[in-house]
A and B are shown apart, each in its own frame.
Chain A
Amino acid sequence: MGIELLGGRILAPFFGSSVHIWGSIITVFMLSLSLGYLLGGKLSTRSPSLKIYGFIFIIAAITILPIALFSQWLMEAIFISIEDARFGSLVASIALFFIPTVILGMLSPYSVRLLVKRSNESGQIAGKLYFISTLGSALGTIITSFYLILLFDINVIIYSFSGLLASLGVLAIFIHKARLQYKAELSHV
């Protein structure tokens, strides 16, 4: 949500601040999240592990970097080739936000898979996850729009989000390794 909110500011210099900007951004985010949920669910059926989970975080961290690195020339190229600002903003939203949002969307169903141990508790765990992720989205939105944009450049905020995602990914992989080691030690004893 933090990125979605920045999206409007990133696109405005080339595609204006008309309502269609938000139409484009929200459409692309919803579309890519829905695809991400589907893919994440599918991926969770094949030997799910905290390691893969960590890698998804790291890939997400990498794929949001182009928003900061290449958005200028990308939007310029789209601005020149597409005259209609509505479709221009739609294409630019897809180019910038589609891939990272699909990957971020994969995290939710994958989390459910990792946390659910027994099927009778699946509803409760899914509920808690929805609670945490939606609450996180709300906080991300308000912190970004009320404070972060008042203090930092857009790119600095994007790099920080990327850094945060990457650290979470590394943490997940680290926990995975630690657990493996622990299990190995147990079996030796």
Chain B
Amino acid sequence: MCKLIAVLLLLLSLPVSYVQAKVIHNERSLYRNILVEDEGDLRCLKFNVKSTKTQQSCYSKSQPQQLVFNYTKLMMASLLFNVEPKRILIIGLGGGTMSNTLAQLYPQSQIDNVEIDPAVIKVARDYFGFHENDNIKTFTQDGRIFIKRALLKNQRYDWIILDAFNGDYIPEHLLTKEFLQEAKALLSDNGILSSNTFSQSKLYAHESATYKAVFGDFYQVSNRVNANRIIITSKNGFTDNPIDPKKHNELAEKLADYGVNIKFIYRSMVYTKKVQNWSDNARILTDQFSPANLLNTHE
């Protein structure tokens, strides 16, 4: 009986947390449901009502430059390897927080944002203060097509941020060996590619093996809460001591303003040359074989 009451109380208390979060915008786009929620000082973009995995982007209304989301902070670890990216490509816009932060950090840099869903771009502009100017452009296109076309135009980027995945669905053509080779070809000489990924169960090994096959050993930082990890790869591979301590300190100071403790993140980074937590015989994902979503749910 006591248990029953406890359960009932728990059920009653659940809706309260939903009441606190106020949905201020709700639309069904070509690709997904888009929700904008206000919860106190926090404004969040969500792609699905039920799942907490799909919180795409959050920002603090009173301190818009603070990075709220854990993974965006982790993403900044890439800067340890390439401290002054002049040309940045972001695949997957979300609320545009990554673009906004980088624009503040590097006002002279050129930032190209690529987002498949026009509704997401509009929401980022209307509700998240997504900022565009002559240096910051947005393209409504599939990420893979953008990269293929950019290659034809002989463009190069110093930093490519791949943020097109979420916990619910993975665009399978952005996870294959062929795609990663195309992205690698688009990197400038010391270019860095960072991916925000959500691989679980079987996909983890396949995805890791594919990145290693294309880029060699890489760095990774994981966030165990919602199974996402940041994979940081380099066009030319990493040397044994890729991080200059002086630059590390400079960067730490700079990023502190954004709520990022880069020294802490650095300590949780893992180099796959030293620690590899997947089996070597995992099959590589290719355009011919890429059942990423099936693998991600297949236990």
Show the binding face of A for B, using Cβ within 8 Å: 9, 12-19, 79-80, 83, 85, 146, 149-150, 152-155
Contacts and interface: CB of A to CB of B under 8 A. Distances in A.
A18 B295 contact: no
Interface size class of B (residues with CB under 8 A): 20 to 34
7 contacts: A14-B148, A18-B142, A19-B31, A146-B294, A150-B294, A152-B289, A153-B288
A16 B141 contact: yes
Contacts of B176: 13
Contact of A9 (B144, B152, B172, B179): B172
B64 interface: no
B184 to A, nearest CB: 15
Contacts of A79: 148
B145 A80 contact: no
A153 B285 CA distance: 10
Contacts of B144: 12-13, 16
- Shortest 8 CB-CB contacts between residues of A and residues of B: A16-B142, A12-B173, A153-B288, A150-B291, A16-B145, A149-B291, A154-B288, A13-B287
Nearest to A80: B152
Contacts, number: 57
B274 interface: no
Nearest to A19: B30
Contacts of B298: 150
A83 B294 CA distance: 32
Contact of B171 (A17, A80, A152, A155): A17
Contacts of B294: 146, 149-150
Chain A contact surface mostly? helix
B142 A17 contact: yes
A83 B290 CA distance: 26
Given A149-B291, A150-B295, A154-B288, A16 B173 contact: yes
A172 to B, nearest CB: 31
Interface string B165-204: 0000001110010110000000000000000000000000
Contacts of A153: 286, 288-289
Nearest to B142: A16
Contacts of A18: 30, 116, 142
Contacts of A83: 149
A125 to B, nearest CB: 38
Contacts of A80: 152
Interface in B262-294: 286-291, 294
Contact of B288 (A16, A19, A146, A155): A155
Contacts of B142: 15-18, 85
B116 A16 contact: yes
